[in-house]
Amino acid sequence: MAFSSTQYLALSVLAGVWASVYYRVRQRKRNPSRLPYPPGPKGIPILGNLLDLPREGYIYKAFRQWSRDFDSAIIHVQILGTHIVVLNTKEVADDLLDNRSSIYSDRPRMPMMNELMGFAWSVGFTPYNDWWKHSRRLFHQHFNPSAVERFRPKKLKATHAFLRRLADKPEDFRDHVRLMAGGVILDIAYGIDVQTADDPYLQRADEALHIVDKAGNPGSWLVDVLPALKYIPEWLPGAGFKRQARAWRAFVDRFMAMPFDAVKENMQRGGVVPSFTSLALRDVTAEDEAARRYQEELIKGVGATTYLAGADTTMSVIATFFLAMTMYPEVQRRAQEELDQVVGKDRLPDFTDEPSLPYTTAVMKEVLRWQQVAPFAIPHCVMTDDVYNGYFIPAGSIVIGNSWAVLHDENLFPDPFTFNPGRFLDPNISQRALAAVDHAFGFGRRLCPGRFMAMSFAWITMASTLATFAVEKARDADGKEIDPTGAFSPGIMGTPEDFPCIIKPRSREAEDLVRATA
């Protein structure tokens, strides 16, 4: 950015002054009863609670601590005139994001991503409008629990290739996970068969993910604080963000178009590879050119969203699984005993085994609960003024469901920081706790529509790995075991930090089964 930090601060302060005055006047009209905001740190004039937020560390943990400090499941902070409401229990999250989803399902305005880079096509970032409704309907049509079964062969193929790479170079397991996660989603979305990490489709998709990460990083772009800046000409000093947005938009547009166009061309030549895109294009029936073009743009957007939403998240979930197996060997042994008893040692697990493997399924659920890929999910935005439990929540407030706090609530999950799959087999576990696992994928109408595909792929990967490999703690030069710290990255993505481990086939017979999949 061409703005200096001093200029950024000065403009932010001016924006805060204007917003503070504006909202005080508006609040008197919209909140005549002078109801309070939900409790939270007091803050200071203009900046609000900007200085209260942790500069480093885990902000979702800080919000849960404030929830305890103020004895309230709902917390309010204000930053430069922007209201932020954080929901730290399943009860309040259900009350607002689910039961009042008609007004709590919008997204905050994101000028850099949605308006300058054109990312409003993404199911995750688009506002609550007809495009979102049509995209979500298309997503559900092809990725509901019954529909995702058609992609089982692709998931098995990707899992078996992952096992073979793991047998060849176990020390590179993170690279293998990345290749598997990106490859299977490109296959499901477009029918693209990715074999190596330098595949051009995979590299372009990874770069698109990198752009999304940089463009969507909160506080990185002044235009997100002062949206009117999006109208300034590119040649003006300080308008470098517009030139960057234009370049990124062109790259992401190509990322979306290349695989989509390839599928269309293959279909026209009669060489169809089953995938979401080919199946969805087959169902396009509109004769009107404008309607047909709209349907194709929806398909293109959902296909790209499938990759952008699924690649990094899948990689993080599987990496968390390896960390848990390293730290909790007794869990690994119990799952392997179940697999040996049900599946045996002369074949690999299949999807049809899942009903007979409750503990293995519990391992997958506990991975999702123990550490969320997105501890905050994507923030919601309330569309009208609302009152909840005597608190005033103004329209336009950013509303965050704290997934991490919900899934570490001692009232739902006793001893929440211990990795314990057995909790899901406890007959006394509440239905509320069982349902809470879904909040690893968001809340309300914004719950990730791809969660069924994500969970089924995570399950077959974990089951196949447990059946064939042993994951152990690494040892130092003196032969002593190295205990992983169990630390996760402090950003908006909960990814395990690097940790040492030893991965090896459970037996010669297990290795033979893996290699036979080739």
501 is in an annotated binding site: no
Q: Place 223 in a pLDDT band, splitting at 50, 70 and 90.
A: confident
Contact 201, 186 (CB under 8 A): yes
Q: Is the pLDDT of residue 225 over 80?
A: no
Residue 311's pLDDT band (boundaries 50, 70, 90)? confident
pLDDT reported for residue 295: 94
Angle among Cα 33, 39, 44 to the nearest 5 degrees reads 95
Cβ neighbour number for residue 130 with a 10 Å cutoff: 8
pLDDT at 440 over 80: yes
pLDDT of residue 228: 87
Amino acid at 387: V
Q: What is the pLDDT of residue 12?
A: 53
Element spanning 82, H or E: strand 82-87
Quick one: pLDDT at residue 16?
56
Is the alpha carbon torsion for 153, 170, 451, 336 positive or negative? positive
Q: For 191-288, where are the alpha helices, taking DSSP H only?
A: 200-215, 222-225, 240-269, 276-282
Residue 243: count of CB within 10 angstroms of its CB:
12
For β-strands 398-401 and 82-87, DSSP reports them as parallel
Give the H or E element holding residue 391: strand 391-393
pLDDT reported for residue 8: 47
Note whether 320 and 328 are within 8 A (CB): no
pLDDT recorded at residue 121? 87
* Kind and range of the H or E run holding 381: strand 380-381
C-beta neighbour count of 212 within 10 angstroms? 21
pTM across the whole model: 0.88
- Alpha-carbon gap, residue 223 to 397, rounded angstroms: 18
How confident is the model over 487-500, as a mean pLDDT?
Answer: 81
- Domains in the chain: boundaries: 5-118+128-516
Greatest CA span in the chain, whole angstroms? Answer: 75
pLDDT score recorded for residue 29: 65
Query: How many residues does the structure list for the chain?
Result: 518
pLDDT band at 217 (very low <50, low <70, confident <90, very high): low
For residues 456-474, give the mean pLDDT. 96
Question: Once rounded to an integer, what is the mean pLDDT over residues 197-204?
Answer: 86
58 has a pLDDT exceeding 70: yes
* Exposure on the CB side of residue 23, measured as CA atoms within 13 A: 22
Residue 73 pLDDT exceeds 80: yes
Q: Residue 502 in contact with residue 472, Cβ under 8 Å?
A: yes
Assigned fold of 5-118+128-516: Cytochrome p450 (1.10.630)
Other C-beta atoms within 10 Å of 485: how many?
A: 12
Asked if 382 and 127 count as a contact pair (C-beta separation under 8 A), the reply is: no
DSSP state of 495: P
Structure tokens, 296? 């194709």
- Predicted confidence at residue 5, as pLDDT, reads 45
Handedness of CA 290, 296, 298, 300 (dihedral sign): negative
pLDDT of residue 23: 54
